[in-house]
Amino acid sequence: MGDTTLLQGRYRLLERIGRGGMGEVWRAKDESLDRRVAVKCLKPLGTRHDQSLTRAMRERFRREARVAAALQHRGVTVVHDFGECDGVLFLVMELLEGRDLSRLLKDNGHRPLPVPDIVDIAEQVAQALAHTHERGIVHRDLKPANIVRLTDGTVKICDFGIARLGDDVGFTARLTGTGIAMGTPHYMSPEQIGGDDVDGRSDLYSLGCVLYEVATGAPPFDLDDTWAVLVGHRDTEPEPPRGHRADLPGYLDRIILDLLAKRPEQRPDDARELVRRITAGRTAPAHGPAPA
C-alpha cells in the first residue's frame, strides 16, 4: 500500500504511522466527510501460512472492530467503519493526536512520570475500564503501547484485538489453538498466564503493571527472559514502587500493590472501586492517612 491507495473510493491513505504484528496503521483522509482518520489494515499472510492462522487473524481483526464499536466512552478509541478492499480488511478509527505511554516513557528517557500525571492516567484508564467491564468486555492486552495520552490530556484505551465478550467464551480457545499470543508477558495477570478464565480483575492487574512502570520507569518484573517474567508474575511479590521512588504518595503505592495481588479476589473488586480509591487518595490531605 502507498500514499495513492484509496479504499472503497473513500479513505485515502496518506502516511504510515504504525506497524505491528497484525498490520499497519495509516493516517488517512475520509474524502466523503472531509476529515482525518486512522486506518488500520490487516496484512495478508499469503498462501505459505497456515489457513487456520489466517482465519483466526481475520477473526481477531473483526473482533476488534465489533468490540470497539460497541463501546461509547471518551476513554475508548472511536471506531467509524470496517470493511474489506481487494482482500485487505481495514478498520477506520478516530485519529489520535498524542503519544502512547510506551512512547511517552521512551521520550522521557524511561524516567518515571510526574505523580500528578500518573494519578490522572490511572483515574482515566480506570473509568474507561469500568465502562468496558460493565458491558461484559475484558481487554486482555492492556499495556503502555495500548494506552494513548492525547495532546489535550485525554487518555484513551485502544487495540481490542484479543478482547473477549462475555457471551463468546469459545473465541479465546480458537485463537489459542492457532498459536496466537494472548497477551504481553510483562503485563499479564497470573490467571491469564495459567490459562484460567479471566474477568475484569485481570485487566486491573495489567493496569497495575502499567502504573508500576510509569511510576518507577520499569515494569514490576523487568527481566530479559520471558519465562522468568511469567514466573515472577505467578510466584514473586513485587518490590513496592516506593522502594524505587520515595516521593510516591503512600496511597498510590498501596493501590498499585493491591492491583498486583496474585489472586483476583485480593485486588479491588472492580474498576469502579479503583476509581473511588484513586479519587479518595487524590483529594485526601497531603499528610493524612492513606485510604484503605
Cα–Cα dist 111/62, whole Å: 37
Check: CB of residue 263 under 8 Å from CB of residue 205: no
Task: Read off the pLDDT of each residue in 150-178 and give the average, rounded to a whole number.
Answer: 67
Nearest to 44 by CA among 4, 90, 7, 91: 90
Is the confidence at residue 5, as pLDDT, over 50?
A: yes
Q: In the chain, what are the domain boundaries?
A: 6-94, 98-283
Count of other CB atoms within 10 angstroms of residue 27? 16
Nearest to 133 by CA among 257, 233, 261, 273: 273
Domains 6-94 and 98-283 share a fold: no
Is the confidence at residue 116, as pLDDT, over 70?
A: yes
pLDDT at 23: 79
Which residue carries 482515566 as its cell? 124
- Residue that wins the pLDDT comparison between 18 and 52: 18
Q: Considering the chain, what percentage of its residues have pLDDT values greater than 90?
A: 64
Task: Read off the pLDDT of each residue in 111-123 and give the average, rounded to a whole number.
Answer: 97
pLDDT at 101: 97
Count of other CB atoms within 10 angstroms of residue 70? 16
pLDDT at 169: 41
- Which among 86, 120, 141, 199 is annotated as catalytic? 141
- The pLDDT tens digits of the residues spanning 257-280 come to 999 999 999 999 999 999 999 999
Check: CB of residue 43 under 8 Å from CB of residue 57: no
Task: Read off the pLDDT of each residue in 96-107 and give the average, rounded to a whole number.
Answer: 95
- Residue that wins the pLDDT comparison between 166 and 21: 21
Predicted confidence band of residue 3 (pLDDT cuts 50, 70, 90):
low
* Architecture of the 6-94 domain: 2-Layer Sandwich (3.30)
Is the confidence at residue 180, as pLDDT, over 50?
A: no
Query: What average pLDDT is seen over the chain?
Result: 86
Alpha helices, DSSP H, located in 44-180: 51-69, 101-107, 115-134, 170-176
Cα–Cα dist 16/21, whole Å: 15
pLDDT at 177: 42
pLDDT at 87: 82
Is the confidence at residue 173, as pLDDT, over 60?
A: no
Nearest to 102 by CA among 240, 183, 18, 210: 210
- Residue that wins the pLDDT comparison between 2 and 131: 131
Is the confidence at residue 130, as pLDDT, over 90?
A: yes
Query: What's the predicted TM-score (pTM) here?
Result: 0.86
Q: Which fold has domain 98-283?
A: Transferase(Phosphotransferase); domain 1 (1.10.510)
pLDDT at 58: 79
Predicted confidence band of residue 174 (pLDDT cuts 50, 70, 90):
very low
pLDDT at 168: 46
pLDDT at 181: 44
Query: What letter would DSSP give residue 64?
Result: H
- The pLDDT tens digits of the residues spanning 217-261 come to 999 999 888 999 999 999 999 999 999 999 999 999 999 999 999
Is the confidence at residue 47, as pLDDT, over 80?
A: no
Is the confidence at residue 104, as pLDDT, over 70?
A: yes
pLDDT at 182: 53
Cα–Cα dist 80/69, whole Å: 8
Check if 141 is active-site: yes
